[in-house]
């Protein structure tokens, strides 16, 4: 809730009239009123526009309201709720639902599991306007259905209409330059059919149990995709190349190759991926854990070489890149370079 001690605005602007609560029966509230019961409840007791009745007086007094504001807006002003709602509508794109305004704030939430698309430049431009706020998650954040991607907020009870119009103009300019896409949107994940190749003589021979497959399968299935087929190969470059070509022939949407990603002489996977015809985007990432990951493309099919940390670490470079690929992004070198900032996980 945003309250003001001013009794009136500038000439031609809004006027806040302070009225004793017992004299306010039949009048409309100028803003939401919040009730706080420590450890039990915090929320809206009365909504903006509520017409006060005699029965409301005890509740108003219980929350310490002996006076209320009655508001008359100027022609070039907006109430906090109306302003927050207009900003949310201007910025909201596909995959997002909005809440109703509450205490000058509107939440923008993911309609389904997906990846957050947030334009940082727009966020900064809006927050430089003053008296309004746009808070967002970071771009490429994985959002579960119902989780917030952003919230719009107005700081004072009343804001100049021109500030909201500036937000609407920024959003419109962004849409015009980006094929109608909004600055904030949630892209649902594609359901890909994935081929998995596990390398390593110790696994191929049955000397040790494969632990890569279950770990990778769980990560993939969490986003709605599936490992359709898993194959095994020894540390032999030609055999690995042959198996990659086999998976390509099955027309899988993505190929994952596990094991053999270090600089040890027996680790043949990076060279085999390159020899298979892949265009290597990057072998190595500036992120820990997961610095030995390889990402490339054979035609339009993404192929990744996964280091051993994927088996046991909960969040690696694979967990950064996988949802982006599933959301339809094509990974480029700059994406890898940027992973270093905030990329130290352990």
Nearest to 184 by CA among 207, 214, 151, 209: 151
Last residue of a domain, one of 144, 173, 188: 188
The CATH number given to whatever domain includes residue 49 is: 3.90.105.10
Examine residue 1 and state whether it is found in any structural domain, yes or no: no
Q: What is the DSSP string of 93-136?
A: -TTEEEPPPBTTEEEEEESSSEEEEE-HHHHHHHHTSSSEEEEE
- Residues 132 and 160 occupy one common structural domain: yes
Q: How many domains does the chain have?
A: 3
Average pLDDT over residues 214-239: 97
* Of 38 and 192, the one with more pLDDT: 192
pLDDT in tens, 8-44: 444 346 667 888 999 988 877 877 888 888 888 888 8
Examine residue 244 and state whether it is found in any structural domain, yes or no: yes
- Residues 197 and 319 occupy one common structural domain: yes
Residue 107 has pLDDT above 60, yes or no: yes
- Residues 332 and 204 occupy one common structural domain: yes
Average pLDDT over residues 171-193: 98
The pLDDT assigned to 41 comes to 86
Question: Is the separation of the CB atoms in 90 and 108 below 8 Å?
Answer: no
- Residues 251 and 273 occupy one common structural domain: yes
- Residues 312 and 259 occupy one common structural domain: yes
- Residues 87 and 30 occupy one common structural domain: no
Examine residue 8 and state whether it is found in any structural domain, yes or no: no
Percent of the chain exceeding pLDDT 90 equals 75
- Residues 90 and 213 occupy one common structural domain: no
DSSP β-ladder status, 148-154 and 132-136 = antiparallel
Examine residue 323 and state whether it is found in any structural domain, yes or no: yes
Average pLDDT over residues 329-339: 98
Tokens read off for 213: 């497959």
- Residues 197 and 329 occupy one common structural domain: yes
Examine residue 2 and state whether it is found in any structural domain, yes or no: no
Last residue of a domain, one of 169, 188, 207: 188
Examine residue 345 and state whether it is found in any structural domain, yes or no: no
Please give the mean pLDDT across all residues of the chain.
92
**pLDDT level of residue 264 (50, 70, 90 thresholds):** low
Backbone angles phi, psi at 303, to 5 degrees: -130, 135
- Residues 137 and 204 occupy one common structural domain: no
Examine residue 344 and state whether it is found in any structural domain, yes or no: no
Question: What is the spatial distance between Cα 90 and Cα 129, in angstroms, rounded to a whole number?
Answer: 16
- Residues 68 and 89 occupy one common structural domain: no
Quote the domain boundaries for residue 58: 15-72
Question: Is the separation of the CB atoms in 204 and 259 below 8 Å?
Answer: no
The CATH number given to whatever domain includes residue 110 is: 3.90.1170.30
- Residues 82 and 54 occupy one common structural domain: no
- Residues 230 and 300 occupy one common structural domain: yes
Answer whether 0.75 is exceeded by the pTM: yes
Examine residue 343 and state whether it is found in any structural domain, yes or no: no
Last residue of a domain, one of 140, 169, 188: 188
The CATH number given to whatever domain includes residue 301 is: 3.40.980.10
Question: Is the separation of the CB atoms in 231 and 278 below 8 Å?
Answer: no
pLDDT in tens, 292-325: 999 999 999 999 999 999 999 999 999 999 999 9
């Amino acid at each position: 809730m945003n309250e003001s001690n001013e009794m009136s605005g500038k000439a031609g602007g809004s006027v806040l009239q302070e009225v004793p609560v017992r004299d306010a029966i039949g009048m409309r509230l100028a803003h939401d009123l919040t009730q706080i019961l420590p450890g039990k409840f915090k929320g809206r007791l009365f909504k903006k526009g509520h017409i006060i009745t005699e029965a409301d007086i005890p509740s108003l007094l219980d929350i310490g309201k002996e006076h209320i504001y009655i508001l008359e807006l100027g022609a070039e002003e907006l109430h906090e709720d109306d302003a927050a709602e207009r900003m949310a509508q201007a910025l909201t794109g596909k995959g997002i639902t909005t809440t109703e305004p509450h205490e000058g704030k509107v939440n923008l939430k993911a309609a389904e599991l997906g990846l957050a698309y947030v334009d940082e430049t727009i966020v900064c431009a809006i927050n430089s306007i003053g008296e309004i706020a746009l808070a967002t998650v970071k771009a490429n954040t994985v959002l579960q259905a119902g989780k917030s991607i952003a919230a719009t907020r107005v700081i004072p009870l009343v804001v100049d209409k021109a500030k909201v119009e500036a937000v609407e103009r920024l959003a419109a300019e962004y849409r015009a330059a980006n094929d109608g896409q909004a600055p904030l949107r949630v892209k649902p994940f594609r359901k890909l059919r994935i081929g998995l190749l596990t390398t390593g003589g110790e696994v191929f021979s049955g000397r040790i149990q494969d632990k890569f497959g279950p770990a990778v399968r769980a990560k993939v299935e969490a986003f709605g995709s599936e490992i359709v087929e898993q194959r095994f190969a020894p540390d032999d470059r030609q055999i690995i190349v042959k198996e990659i070509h086999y998976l390509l022939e099955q027309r899988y949407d993505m190929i994952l190759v596990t094991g053999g990603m270090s600089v040890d002489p027996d680790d043949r996977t990076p060279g085999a991926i390159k020899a298979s015809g892949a265009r290597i985007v990057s072998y190595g990432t500036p992120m820990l854990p997961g610095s030995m990951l390889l990402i490339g493309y054979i035609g339009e099919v993404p192929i990744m070489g996964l280091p051993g940390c994927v088996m046991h670490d909960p969040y690696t470079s694979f967990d950064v890149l996988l949802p982006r690929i599933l959301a339809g992004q094509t990974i480029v070198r700059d994406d890898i370079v940027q992973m270093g900032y905030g990329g130290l996980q352990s």
